Copies of this chain bind each other. A is one copy, B any other.
Amino acid sequence: MKRQGRGKVDMDTIVSLCKRRGFIFQSSEIYGGLSSCWDYGPLGVELKRNIKDAWWRSVVQERDDIVGLDAAILMHPQTWVASGHVEGFVDPLVDCKGCQKRWRADDIKEGRCPSCGGELTEARLFNLMFKTFMGPVEDKAGLVYLRPETAQGIFVNFANVLNTTRKKLPFGIAQIGKAFRNEITPGNFTFRTREFEQMEIEFFVRPETAEEWFKYWVEERFNWYLKLGIKRDNLRLRQHTKQELAHYARDCYDIEYLFPMGWSELEGIADRGDFDLRQHSQFSGEELTYFDEETGEHIIPYVIEPSGGVDRATLAFLLDAYDEEPDNEGTRVVLRLHPSLAPIKVAVLPLSRNEALVPLSKELYADLRKSFMVQYDDAQSIGRRYRRQDEIGTPFCATIDFRSLEDNQVTIRERDTMRQIRVPIKELARTLQAKLGGEAFEVLPPGGSYWLGFEG
């Protein structure tokens, strides 16, 4: 499928850049790799940290109605009975009677094995949760699952959070953490993997306000991606059809990104009604209600769930930032990452390895590290070094030349415009801070091209 919008890049180009520059490596690569598992390298881990921090800042720190949580991956197995996962989180599979290969029944079009053409068994249900055993005996009493979603860690802690924070409705609980699904057909690089990281909010509201809050969160989350620089043309909303809705959902929108393989889910916003709290209340025997002091009622809140994938967001930000432009050395590759997401904020580049320049450059490097993630590079020509920083999305380079030794100024070179300005060394950190704070990178004018929502 042809990609629309300004940036156009195929997955192979990004996979290759990610490996070459240290964003993402195949897991256990020296052993031939582990199917669909990926490791984040020195730049990837910074990018992912920045995405998670931006999310946490916007949904926890800057809001007065959401608090954080970090629940364990291993949970009481009864959790997954109550949530419906033990019974319902299944894919139908068929086996080939000839070659013994196993397939998703959905993927079989012709009724015979795609590999050897052999006869297939009847479909049987396969649960997508990873199982393991806790304690020394591998029996039913020790059976636990790796959580297939972080959401349930929030629901089982609803009463704990309510009691300790004394929050009033509406309020939310936010969480970032790993989840695991034994997908039969993972793929598309880090898009669908068996181990992945989620960033989820469960937002508890009065039932009669659920629709209004649902719309609010669809808009809010859509705009979050725009604010961090994703191009409007590469984002769209898709409402789930009635047939498609999960058993717990009253309504659901996917925020989709135009990945190289086509429009695919980046984040889902679901109206889960009171399904989860009701189920856990029933299965645990604990009352999971909210007491309304004004009316004296105990109510079961409805839940709006914005649930995003950290790995998918990371991939989308990489794809969207990728740009190539012709220049006098051939092609300039630039990752136009939002500066708050860029793994390296500043590169310190002495014009050459001349011994007069090195001490000052190293001093600046040490000084800037107190405030930012910084790289130092003195290998090859200054032009090559600018290109290396462009390729990993570094918004600013600070270049130290012989003039710097006399006038105590350095050159700041901007990634996107390639404009250069001279700045006194004393003011370098402050100037960069101001520019990184948004001044130089107002990606979208306030109110300008943000999505104005359902009624907008």
Contact = CB atoms under 8 A, between A and B. Distances in A.
A196 B91 CA distance: 31
A39 B33 CA distance: 32
A72 B164 contact: no
- Chain multiplicity (copies): 2
B76 A284 contact: no
A69 B40 contact: yes
Nearest to A46: B68
Interface string A157-180: 101110011100000010100101
A346 to B, nearest CB: 12
A136 B102 contact: yes
B31 A160 contact: no
Interface in A127-160: 130-137, 144, 146, 153, 156-157, 159-160
A399 interface: no
Contact of A25 (B33, B146, B157, B370): B157
Interface string A36-65: 011111111110110000001000111110
A45 B70 contact: yes
Contacts of A373: 60-61
Contacts of A182: 133-136
Residue among A102, A160, A284 with the highest chain B CB neighbour number at 10 A: A160
A185 B94 CA distance: 42
Interface string A105-142: 00000000000000000000010001111111100000
Contacts of A156: 28-31
A260 interface: no
A136 B35 CA distance: 13
A76 to B, nearest CB: 3
Nearest to A144: B34
A333 interface: no
Contacts of A34: 72, 74-76, 134, 144
Interface in A13-41: 19-22, 25, 27-35, 37-41
B72 A38 contact: yes
A425 interface: no
Instruction: Report whether over half of chain A's contact residues are helix, strand or loop; otherwise say mixed.
Output: mixed
B164 A22 contact: yes
A142 to B, nearest CB: 9
Contacts of A63: 369
Nearest to A146: B132
B42 A165 contact: yes
A194 interface: yes
A22 B165 contact: yes
Given A62-B369, A132-B131, A76 B28 contact: yes
A79 interface: yes
A34 B137 CA distance: 16
Residue among A28, A38, A49, A79 with the highest chain B CB neighbour number at 10 A: A28
B164 A42 contact: yes
A40 to B, nearest CB: 4
A369 B30 contact: no
A83 to B, nearest CB: 12
Contacts of A61: 369, 372-373
A157 B38 CA distance: 11
A136 B184 contact: yes
A211 interface: no
A143 to B, nearest CB: 11
A67 interface: yes
A400 to B, nearest CB: 16
A280 interface: yes
A205 interface: no
A31 to B, nearest CB: 4
B70 A40 contact: yes
A137 B28 contact: no
Contacts of A76: 27-28, 31-34
A160 B64 CA distance: 43
Interface in A384-403: none
19 contacts: A22-B67, A22-B164, A28-B78, A30-B284, A31-B76, A39-B70, A39-B71, A39-B153, A42-B173, A43-B164, A45-B68, A48-B70, A61-B373, A62-B370, A64-B366, A64-B369, A132-B132, A135-B182, A136-B182
